[in-house]
Structure 1
């Protein structure tokens, strides 16, 4: 191999010397004069096997793409239990967070001794901090029925508990790699973020031991507000399977407040209008805790309705850092970590490859623009000058069946001449990759 490389270098030098006098070494024009080479990077909304499957005969464009997603090493036993619920699962994105959101809600209601949302909300942070540690649903419920303060450690919540604002103080991120048109699990790396000291130190209200084990206002009713349809529908199967698994295991362990927990299905449509209609229906049906929404922007849209109705909104997948300070009257929680943590992990992944010019293309909503800003800030801290960064956004379609036209953006990206393109989006972002290729941008495999 070394000999071959040397001979090629010598030939290249000879050709360069003769270039002004002759075209014997090839065309007078550089072969790749109109081609821009870039590395592709993605985030939790597009680093999915189902994302590649949706690209069909052009899925090979993803080979070599890297990205991050909130992800903890999942026990094989947990994956097997999920596959028992849905044998067709190919991804596990936000499955751990969905499972934990349902379990924490159930434990909080049991400790509160009531299904009143305001009382459940007072227990949610405390379920994850201080108290006696437990990591099995049945054992945790047994302690809660006895009024014992507990510190739940689940599938996603493994290091520290919630902050005072009701979100994980620490997180684990997976660095994912597309290879052979799918996520190569063998290449997945895990990195931690956040500080244990960020977890709340406030003591929750004393747990209430319910007389005869049954509460007058039982059963606890949970309502789904997950993306069955819309731009984020690719992520629905693992979230739905995990919520169903948690519900089954809670009820197999005796339920909450003496009754099986009930589930009312619901779609957020990755659309504010659809989500608002689902919330109104849940309120009418007596749902106390709403599990969702899938996208941060959808949660922002429905949160005022949820708060006005005095219900709890508990998302397994919202990452918009701005939701940490939203006016929620203490009724909004999430098991997904904020993008202020993911921004650091993603910037680190990109910087390892050493790109000097980077485009960050994001959907124009609180998730996309929020994560874009976090990554930009981290890259600039690391020494990537503002003149070497280009921030672009696109409006996601109101109708998911209407594709976004990325042609103009692809040409703009090509004109900037980046070495890396970070794509922050959901299922609607797929045409951006094909548009780049069609514009003559060579994607590094």
Structure 2
């Protein structure tokens, strides 16, 4: 058997509950770190980036370094892209990844609906975007007006416990119930969508995704408790006879995140489409703007939505855009922002007056999950990191490093890179200590 087949069998055999410790079973065969002063090559490398940069990152690795450096690579959600092996022209058999899972009660209905609507399977964060739109519309209907403050105070009214439960399959019925003046408990596609006092969800799940033969396969899932609901404002629905909810969508249709941004956008729009197709007295008005995966462009696009009167916006997706958009556009204008994909831990600590929410879990959880995958499942007690130099990359890299060291592992190299560069050979050389 090859090393990669062995690795995959270990992944399938190790259940999420057992997480059997294999650390110390280093098996990459590099032969470095022999105590004679020879530079050590890591057994594993954690790579954080986005698809467009990822293409060149992995082309450089497989073209210049893979034959001489036998390492396992772990990637997070930003590089879980089924098109990546084809774009790189390599099966990427030594790559494994983690991504927030679609683990809510309505996950199967959403997946079927997404494929029926768009002709392809949903991808990472699409279910989180669907839930973000669904909750935003329901909260607007509960408010009975397109006013950010009123919507903010009813997000928990429609999402948290203490109401009749509805999921994606019953979304039109949920809208009718809220319009009648009753509180509900929306149970989503991505999770149960219960918010804490910081606007974060209180439960999370991660899929472990293996790259093999040019295909991506989910080989395991982990469920985590992210926090507690705590003291959350939940105003009663006002009840409406007719209403048009206005919810903007701010996604990276172009730029480094473009390959992921389109499907995430479509996940959000699917919820609005289902409501509009149901022939209710409630409808949804949406407008889409492109962040271009750029903070400056994201601010301009967010301002366009706010100036057009949208009191709630699904997005941005990238944390590097979410921070400035939230602090410079949403909060000053009393607009609710709910991101389906901004995972930087710092979002939790934003001084946001309660206007900023997210349906994706914080990378404060994903970093330790990735560390456990490398140590307990791959069997490596040392690692290195190669990460995007922005809010998302820096925070996730730090979370991973802290998690790895807490498990007793050693981190050899920590190397950052800038997006969409023509070559990453020098960064690979540094992280592999060549």
TM-score range, shorter chain: 0.7 to 0.9
Q: Residue 72 of structure 1 aligns with which residue?
A: 102
Query: Residue 317 of structure 1: CA displacement?
Result: 0.5
1:411 corresponds in structure 2 to 429
1:82-141 superposed Cα distances (whole Å, 9 cap, x missing partner): 123222x35511111010000000111111122111100111133221222222212322
Residues 77 and 292 of structure 1: is their aligned pair in 2 closer, same or farther, counting only changes over 3 Å? Answer: same
TM-score by length of 2: 0.79
How far does residue 259 in structure 1 lie from its aligned partner after superposition?
Answer: 4.0
On the 8 A contact 1:396/1:404 being kept in 2, the answer is no
Aligned equivalent of 2:74: 41
Q: CA deviation at 1:146?
A: 2.2
**In structure 1, which of residues 146, 149, 161 is the aligned counterpart of residue 180 of structure 2?**
146
Compute the TM-score of the two structures, normalised by the length of structure 1: 0.77
- The residue number in structure 2 matching 1:204 is 234
In 2, the alpha carbon distance for the partners of 1:234 and 1:90 equals 14
Bigger radius of gyration among the two = 1
Point out the more displaced range, 74-83 or 34-43.
74-83
Q: 1:21-420 residue pairs with structure 2 within 5 A?
A: 35-55=68-88, 58-60=89-91, 62-73=92-103, 75-87=107-119, 89=120, 91-132=122-163, 133-135=165-167, 136-158=170-192, 161-185=194-218, 188-195=219-226, 198-202=228-232, 204-210=234-240, 213-214=241-242, 218-254=243-279, 258-303=281-326, 304-351=328-375, 352-385=377-410, 388-397=411-420, 403-415=421-433
Question: 1:414, CA displacement in angstroms?
Answer: 2.4
Alpha-carbon distance in 2 for matches of 1:152, 1:175: 27
Q: Which residue does the alignment assign to 1:420? A: none
Give 1:290 deviation, angstroms: 1.3
Task: Look up the SS of the partner of 1:198 in the other structure.
Answer: coil
Deviates more, 1:98-107 or 1:231-240: 231-240
**Structure 2 residue matching 1:163: 3-state secondary structure:** coil
| Residues 315-356 of structure 1 deviation map (CA, whole Å, 9 limit, x = unaligned) | 110100110011112111110010111112111111121213
User: SS of the residue aligned with 2:79?
Assistant: coil
Q: Deviations over 1:55-91 (max 9, x none)?
A: 2xx222x12311100012574442232123222x355
Distance (Å, rounded) in 2 between the aligned partners of 1:404 and 1:118: 45
**Equivalent position of 1:13 in the other structure:** none
Q: 1:277 Cα deviation (Å)?
A: 1.8
Count matched residues.
Answer: 363
What is the CA–CA distance in structure 2 between the aligned matches of 1:288 and 1:180, rounded to whole Å?
46
Q: Structure 2, unaligned stretches of length 5 or more?
A: 2-64
Q: What is the Cα-based RMSD across aligned positions, in Å?
A: 2.1
Check conservation: 2:129, 2:264, Cα contact below 8 A: yes
**Distance of 2:341 and 2:335 partners within structure 1:** 19
Q: Indicate if the aligned counterparts of 2:157 and 2:237 stay in contact, CA closer than 8 A.
A: no
Q: Which runs of 5+ in 1 are unaligned?
A: 2-31, 398-402, 417-445
> How has the CA–CA distance of structure 1 residues 130 and 267 changed in structure 2, closer, same or farther, with 3 Å as cutoff?
same
Q: Distance in 1 between matches of 2:195 and 2:323?
A: 20
Judge which range, 232-241 or 367-376, deviates more. Answer: 232-241
